[in-house]
């Protein structure tokens, strides 16, 4: 049995010198935490969406992170992070089960990276917990359909169409 106060921390941000877009998820999945890679669950469609909208190399239909994915994102002026910095340990990955969350300092990140022109939120939980009132009004925040395997309401094509909004900021 695990202690009730056991916490787990998320992953560090992926960021280059001049990001124009900031993609924020909620918190890494169990698979992502174990592998130390964002969106490492092969059922998550994040990398397939990125491959299509950014024309990244890789096999069509695969959602594995591309080799050196930080480099691909940085070259496309994208930063990647999560809204939640840490949470009470939970055995699964469902956002709805998160307890005792602590958020990353998104406003400070934006001040450190003044080239960011938009925020793309990957799903509803990120939308719920981001400190909306602390985000500068000149940085639009887009709530996009979650790429999680739990989000079957949208087809891959619908997710890709929504996520293309990033391109206008890059």
Record the tokens describing residue 77, joined without a space: 């002026």
- Distance from chain centroid for Cα 152: 18
> Residue 61 is part of a domain; what is its CATH number?
3.40.470.10
Record the tokens describing residue 5, joined without a space: 């106060």
Residue 93 pLDDT more than 70? no
Asked if residue 2 belongs to a domain, the reply is: no
> What is the span of the domain harbouring residue 26?
7-169
Nearest Cα neighbor of 26 from 169, 143, 109, 135 is: 143
Q: Are strands 141-144 and 118-122 parallel, antiparallel or unpaired?
A: parallel
**Maximum separation of any 2 CA atoms in the chain, in Å:** 49
Q: How many domains does the chain have?
A: 1
pLDDT digits (tens, 9 = 90+) for 126-146: 999 999 999 999 999 999 999
pLDDT above 90 covers a percentage of the chain that reads 65
Residue 59 pLDDT more than 60? no
Nearest Cα neighbor of 149 from 95, 100, 79 is: 95
């Amino acid at each position: 049995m695990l202690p009730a106060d056991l916490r787990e921390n998320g992953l560090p941000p992926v960021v280059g010198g001049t990001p124009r877009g900031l993609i924020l998820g909620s918190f890494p999945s169990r698979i992502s935490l174990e592998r130390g890679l964002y969106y490492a669950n092969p059922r998550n469609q994040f990398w397939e969406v990125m491959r299509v909208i950014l024309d990244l190399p890789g096999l069509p239909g695969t959602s594995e992170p591309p080799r050196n994915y930080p480099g691909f994102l940085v070259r496309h002026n994208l930063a990647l992070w999560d809204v939640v910095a840490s949470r009470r340990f939970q055995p699964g990955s469902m956002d709805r089960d998160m307890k005792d969350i602590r958020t990353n300092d998104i406003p400070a990140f934006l001040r450190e990276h003044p080239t960011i022109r938009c925020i793309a939120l990957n799903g509803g939980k990120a939308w719920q917990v981001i400190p909306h009132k602390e985000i500068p009004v000149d940085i639009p925040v887009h709530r996009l359909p979650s790429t999680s395997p739990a989000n079957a309401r949208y087809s891959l094509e619908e997710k890709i169409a929504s996520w293309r909004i990033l391109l206008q900021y890059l």
